[in-house]
Amino acid sequence: MGMRKRAEVIIITFILATLLIVSNGIINRFTAYVDLTDDKKYTLSEGTRDMIADIDQTIYVKVLLDGDFPAEFERLKESTADILRQFRSINPRVEYIFEDPNEGSVAEVNERREYLRSQGILATTLTVMDQGQRTDKLIFPYAIFSFGSRQTAANLLEEQTLRSSQELVINRSINLLEYKMANAIQKLLQRDRKSIVFVEGQGELNKDQTGRLERELGIYYDLGRVQLDSIYQITPEIDLVVIAKPKERYTEKDQFKIDQYIMNGGKVIWLLDKYDINLDSIAKYGQYVPREIEHGLDDQLFSYGVRIKPNLILDAEASKIPQVIGVSGDKPQTALFKWYYHPLAEGNPNHPISKNIGLTNFIFPSTLDTLKTKQPLSRTVLASSSNYSRFQVYPMRIGFDILQVDEDLSKFNKGSQAIALLAEGEFVSHFKNRVPKAMLDGLASIGVEYKESSINTQQIFISDGDFIKNLYDREKGRISDIGYNKWEERVYPGNKNLIINAIEYLLDDYGLLEARSKDVKLRLLDQGKIESEKTKWQFINVVLPILLLLVFGIAFNFIRKRKYT
């Protein structure tokens, strides 16, 4: 080969190597995806894309999922990495690393675990089977997000319940990955905290009874309490109003303040009991007719297209309460019985607020009904009783004697009953064409005009005032979780998930909650078929390729000999 030819080869090789390095760098920096899956598992929601694109400073993400894991957890790890790669392809200011918190010396691992525990990042015990040996391993399935001096962590692993296998838990966790990580980033980006106000003064739940919810919300929102008779108006600067279990009547002036807040685009969550009932009264009187709560809000809700029916729902799917079944010595013996007035409900799987929230436990709820309104509204049922439901119409007698009767599902024949409802659109004022002059003068004195219809806004209605309530032991300073059933000694996670999701939906500027609707299908292998056809597929995958290569080699040599002999 001449010098000129050798120089041309060197130049071409150099050019190709340069192009390869440059193209590889470009590909690593800018990733493109074509999602051909039928469930669009690799496609981010529009709200997530918009939010990630708006990041103007570097966000650092540390994922504590590195290390050796079973195949299911490898899926979770790879899915997390895939979403972060998509975040980075939209905005290179998202930087991430994977770290194994169990790596290092014993002293280093213990020090790291103690630090994580101080940050509220708690370990989960993972059971691993290796060659028939069962071992327990502490893992931290968290992603830690840092933005400037601010930091927050997202738990990437959903809680495993008695009804769910590890595969289902991992799949549910993968479904929620995009939402959890996008939500954590949005919380860090918020410069102006949204404000939430709890109304009090009419016997509503007090701070001790909503302490758990306020602790959860206080991390990201400004919270307050207000008595309506002490203010001129609920200002539009308040982003959300919560009215939880009032027991006394709202005056017309107070209703007017709530109404005009809604007409100016305000958002309200109503948690209302229809009747004043408690188990102590039933135990004391044997049977009694509950008192209807006169909060005076029924007509106002009617104007917004919602009615709480005068009934109590009974559901064959219900939580349990204790009853005395005998006496041992001088101590009563109790057992748990299904209490039909406390329905267990799954959330609506077709709405992001209520999808995958787990079981909810309602206490003496009534049926929510939707009414025709002058302006069209969108109404969505978020939670309802099971198909095996019925109801008692007021005035009804309530007693424990119902527990002594064998369950007859044929009597639970009224179908599912709506208990939680979302209403969206433009609402008509409850005071349209009937505003007292004194109220108009009051508005004029603060420079505000009366509005007879709202801009587009949302309201949520729940026919159970105790739905967000926690138990509080003042002597011991203990507070229960939302949805805790003291008789069954268990927590129903749907209560907290539903109310937190509802608040985030109402206050979410990007619509990130839509990412909760993503449903990645779990395609499990048929274990029976795997065992019965194991030998066949081993032969096809291992032996057959070798045989084909041998046949091809023999045929090639035979043809070559005939051609050149």
pLDDT in tens, 474-509: 888 889 999 999 999 999 999 999 999 999 999 988
Compute the distance between CA of residue 385 and CA of residue 415 in angstroms, rounded to an integer. Answer: 8
Burial letters 261-281, b for 16+ CB under 10 A, else e: bbbbebbbbbbbbbbebebee
List % helix, strand, coil for the chain (3-state, nearest 5): 35, 25, 40
Question: Where is average pLDDT lowest: 47-51, 237-241, 470-474, 513-517?
Answer: 513-517
Burial letters 399-432, b for 16+ CB under 10 A, else e: ebebeeeeeeeeebebebbbbbbbbbbebbbbbe
Q: Which long-range contacts (CB under 8 A, 24 or more apart) does 439-445 make?
A: 439/253, 439/256, 442/232, 443/233, 443/260, 445/232
Average pLDDT over residues 422-442: 92
Compute the distance between CA of residue 49 and CA of residue 57 in angstroms, rounded to an integer. Answer: 16
User: What pLDDT, on a 0 to 100 scale, did the predictor assign at position 2?
Assistant: 60
Nearest-5° Cα angle at 92, 87 to 98: 65
The gap between the terminal CA atoms of the chain, to the nearest Å, is: 33
Paired with 423 in beta bridges are 379, 459
Read off the tokens for 397.
């007698």
At the topology level of CATH, where does 31-189 sit?
Glutaredoxin (3.40.30)
Output DSSP code: residue 160: P
Compute the distance between CA of residue 380 and CA of residue 513 in angstroms, rounded to an integer. Answer: 15
Question: Where is average pLDDT lowest: 320-334, 374-388, 407-421, 443-457?
Answer: 320-334
Compute the distance between CA of residue 215 and CA of residue 207 in angstroms, rounded to an integer. Answer: 10
User: What pLDDT, on a 0 to 100 scale, did the predictor assign at position 104?
Assistant: 87
Proportion of the chain above pLDDT 90, given as a percent:
51
User: What pLDDT, on a 0 to 100 scale, did the predictor assign at position 20?
Assistant: 74
Question: Where is average pLDDT lowest: 47-61, 67-81, 116-130, 208-222?
Answer: 116-130
The edge-to-edge listing of strands for the beta sheet with 318-328 is 318-328, 331-345, 360-361
Nearest to 229 by CA among 201, 198, 210: 201
pLDDT over 60 at 37, yes or no: no
User: What pLDDT, on a 0 to 100 scale, did the predictor assign at position 42?
Assistant: 63
Average pLDDT over residues 144-157: 90
Read off the tokens for 150.
């601010």
Compute the distance between CA of residue 238 and CA of residue 267 in angstroms, rounded to an integer. Answer: 9
Q: What is the pLDDT of residues 203-258, one digit of tens each?
A: 999 999 999 999 999 988 999 999 999 999 999 999 999 999 999 999 999 999 99
Read off the tokens for 25.
């760098």
Q: What is the mean pLDDT of the chain?
A: 87
Q: What is the pLDDT of residues 356-369, one digit of tens each?
A: 898 999 999 999 99
Q: What is the pLDDT of residues 414-426, one digit of tens each?
A: 999 999 999 999 9
Q: What is the pLDDT of residues 179-206, one digit of tens each?
A: 999 989 998 888 788 999 999 999 999 9
User: What pLDDT, on a 0 to 100 scale, did the predictor assign at position 397?
Assistant: 92
Question: Where is average pLDDT lowest: 29-33, 229-233, 273-277?
Answer: 29-33
User: What pLDDT, on a 0 to 100 scale, did the predictor assign at position 137?
Assistant: 74
Stronger pLDDT, 540 or 293, i.e. the higher one:
293
Compute the distance between CA of residue 148 and CA of residue 398 in angstroms, rounded to an integer. Answer: 58
At 294, the amino acid letter reads E
Stronger pLDDT, 520 or 407, i.e. the higher one:
407
Average pLDDT over residues 73-99: 92
Q: If pLDDT is split at 50, 70 and 90, which confidence band does 5 have?
A: low
563: number of Cβ within 10 Å: 7
Cα radius of gyration (the chain) = 31
Stronger pLDDT, 419 or 279, i.e. the higher one:
419
User: What pLDDT, on a 0 to 100 scale, did the predictor assign at position 120?
Assistant: 83
User: What pLDDT, on a 0 to 100 scale, did the predictor assign at position 129?
Assistant: 59
